[in-house]
Amino acid sequence: MIRSGLATALVAGILLIPLGVGVLWLQALPPAHGPDEEAHLEYVRALATDRQFPALGFRHGGIWSEGHQPPLYYALCALLTPLTGADWTLRWVSLLLGAGSVAAYYGIARRLLPGAPREAAVMAASSGLLPMSSFLSASVNNGALVQFLVALVLWIGVDPHRWVGWRGAGAATLVGAAILAKFSALFLVPFLAVAWVRMALEGRLTWPRCLHLTGRLLAVVLLVSGWWFWRNWLLYGDAFGWQQQMASSPTLVRSERISLGYMYAVTLELWRSLWAAFGPSARQTAPPSVYILVSLAAGIGAAGLVSSRWCNRAGRAGGALLGGSILALLGWPLAVPWFANRLPGVDGIAVKLVLLMVMAGMLLVITRRIRWRPDPGARREIGLLGLAFILLLVGVYRYNVNFPQPQGRFLLPCAPALVFFMHQGWIALVGWRNRWVILLTGLALAISGNLAALVQYEV
């Protein structure tokens, strides 16, 4: 009994680490240093004082620039203003939502590592300690709410038993609420539909039940969030308000044509800003050495994860190419300024392709022996998490077709999937007996990187 209590206390203590670090960020971050924080706060003030939703437009230097955003986060903050005031104390709302997200990450990690609560807690805490996650949880923004709601939906997942009766309606309500917090959460609808179809194809769910779940999901989502799309249509003639947003801020609208070079530049900026892009204009980034380290961890982890998921020659080759691509096409260009001072002529697509093949060859050697494989249920969950991340990424790319704003914070609702994948890929390579070397190293790097970003933050 005592041992069980100590184990529970240890898990709780690990999960509270991101909250403690978030408090440090909240105390150190000056007002209006979060992304568009003043505009988000003005939205809350409009609801609290005028009792109406602001229309999208630019007034007094950008006051209504967030008017296209769905209202759930701002309505929640407006309800709390009698207690907090419509000022920077509302950052505590984001901080507590971030802590709730970490708790949901723990639930997801338990499904990936059944019977390993402490290991799952370390993975969840590491996910909550991404520097960008801590930075955003210490500012007034609607991303904190959508991150929390998406984490809850991913935790509930595709288990049909969790979508029965009133619980199913409640879970579908979470999807509608996430969409009402930020349009990027729309990916949850195709995610769940594809997941249920997959279960039907595997014989774990009947087709009538699959259609029933999908139909109820669509009905509840329309009931919860459809009124906002209708309001936008009546006000702007556009359900998303994108046309009005482009008319209100023509300088932010994409002017260059869509090309592979443009999409590659978007990909690089998403990768860079997912790990570090601080300050009001997101100008503060990490040094090249950080991107080298992150790319190595992600590349090797991806190779190990894919090789353990499909433990054959094709799986090893696919994992090696994926890991090599991460190193050569994502990490290497961000590190080029550091290398360019030492090795002239390191840039260029030819160099990247040669580096890709070299890294893929090295990863083929590394993945020759897989020492641990997740159980079949966990492998299925890994695939579903990957699907969620890909669908969210597609939505972000679609947004960047009109607005060239490749900000990695848009991917934070599914960023824990990347952290989980890195952990499991490395454990697959070193073996389950050595799991704590990987888990504690990852947690230590997350904490140290987070605190280093905080200490070096330029006010």
Residue 295 CA to chain centroid, in angstroms?
Answer: 17
CB distance 359 to 324 below 8 Å? yes
C-alpha radius of gyration, the chain, whole number: 22
CB distance 394 to 366 below 8 Å? no
Task: Report pLDDT for 61.
Answer: 44
Q: How many CA atoms lie within 13 A of 7 on its CB side?
A: 10
- Average pLDDT of each block of 10 consecutive residues along the chain (459 residues)? 78 96 92 86 85 68 66 92 76 94 95 92 96 92 94 86 80 95 94 90 89 92 94 86 72 71 87 86 80 92 92 89 92 77 68 87 92 86 92 91 83 93 95 95 94 85
CA distance 77 to 313: 53
Task: Report pLDDT for 457.
Answer: 84
Cα maximum dimension of the chain: 65
CA distance 436 to 107: 19
Q: Long-range contact list for 87-90, CB < 8 A, 24+ apart?
A: 87/41, 88/31, 88/41, 88/140, 90/41, 90/44, 90/140
Cα 248 to Cα 59, 62, 65, 67, 206: the distances in Å are 10, 10, 8, 11, 48
Task: Report pLDDT for 2.
Answer: 63
